[in-house]
Amino acid sequence: MVYNAMKMFMEINPQLFDECSHEYNERQNSAEQRERARKERWEKLAEQAKDRQNGVPAPPPPADIPVYVDEVDTITEDSQNRLQSLKLDDSGSVKERRSSTVSLHA
């Protein structure tokens, strides 16, 4: 049954079938490497859990860069101005479309 589906897929779109087959083969070839990386991540996570259980504090979260309120207001004003100009441009194009539609029907 799977063979029939693959054969039909190959007949319908041979280029896509080749691309999928190639990607599948590459994925199969890198399976061991992905498995090793997955195990290393789990081991690292288990080690962190063990350290925290023993009383070692978690590393501090990354420091965020403070944004000043004045900078945010300026950015917000610029965004609002751009939005307003887009609304004006959009309303003009709607009027143009309506007038061209009316002239076509006349």
pLDDT at 26 over 50: yes
pLDDT tens digit sequence for 42-77 = 999 999 998 888 776 766 767 776 655 555 566 667
> Would you state the pLDDT for residue 30?
93
HSE-CB at 86 with a 13 A cutoff on CA atoms is: 6
Domain boundaries, the chain: 8-54, 69-106
Q: How far apart are CA 40 and CA 58, in angstroms?
A: 20
Q: What is the pLDDT of residue 86?
A: 61
| Residue 17, number of CB atoms within 10 A of its CB | 16
Q: Confidence band (pLDDT; 50, 70, 90) for 94? A: very low
Q: Is the pLDDT of residue 37 over 70?
A: yes
| N- to C-terminal Cα separation, the chain | 61
- Distance CA(7)–CA(48), nearest Å, equals 49
